[in-house]
């Protein structure tokens, strides 16, 4: 867990055990440590170099940080499928669903409800 996902200068009074992602252009005792994980201990700062695939949690946002292609992605989770209690609840995006229109019977209340379902699915990225 990190206290900050992009800090360029070390905090004035870090707590022992606190960690930070060192941003580009680092200053002070972090100078030259850009792209490192800086963790403070009773003996001073300790540095861990990053590699692709590393995962951290950003304490302020609670979001996952994942190192990909030499950069950090905050809050982006990539998966083919999401399961809850063994049931698939999300998988690959499906083709677009057209808006309801026409037909031998027109039920505006039903059409409005179906339209809201489609809008919610689009808002969640489930369909185009």
Structural domain count of the chain:
2
Structural domain span for residue 70:
4-74
pLDDT value at 38 more than 80:
yes
Same domain flag for 63 and 100: no
What's residue 62's pLDDT?
94
* Per-chain mean pLDDT for the chain: 88
The residue-averaged pLDDT of 124-128 equals 77
Same domain flag for 70 and 10: yes
43: confidence class by pLDDT, cuts 50, 70, 90: very high
52: confidence class by pLDDT, cuts 50, 70, 90: very high
| Closest to 1 measured CA to CA, from 39, 41, 43 | 39
Same domain flag for 52 and 95: no
Look at 79 and 19; give whichever has higher pLDDT.
19
Q: Is residue 128 part of a domain?
A: no
What's residue 80's pLDDT?
87
Same domain flag for 32 and 49: yes
Is this structure's pTM higher than 0.75? no
Distant-in-sequence contacts of 40-46, Cβ < 8 A, 24+ apart:
40/14, 40/15, 40/16, 41/16, 41/17, 42/16, 45/10
pLDDT value at 12 more than 90:
yes
Same domain flag for 11 and 43: yes
Q: Is residue 112 part of a domain?
A: yes
């Amino acid at each position: 867990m990190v206290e900050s996902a992009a800090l360029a200068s070390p905090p004035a009074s870090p707590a022992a055990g606190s960690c930070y992602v060192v941003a580009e252009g680092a200053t002070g005792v972090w100078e030259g440590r850009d792209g490192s994980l800086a963790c403070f201990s009773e003996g001073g700062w300790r540095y861990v170099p990053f590699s692709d695939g590393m995962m951290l949690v950003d304490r302020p946002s609670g979001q996952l940080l994942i190192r990909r292609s030499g950069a950090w992605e905050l809050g982006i989770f990539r998966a083919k499928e999401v399961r809850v209690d063994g049931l698939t609840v999300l998988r690959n995006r499906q083709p677009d669903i057209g808006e309801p229109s026409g037909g031998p019977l027109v039920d505006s209340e039903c059409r409005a409800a179906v339209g809201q379902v489609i809008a919610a699915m689009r808002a969640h990225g489930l369909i185009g």
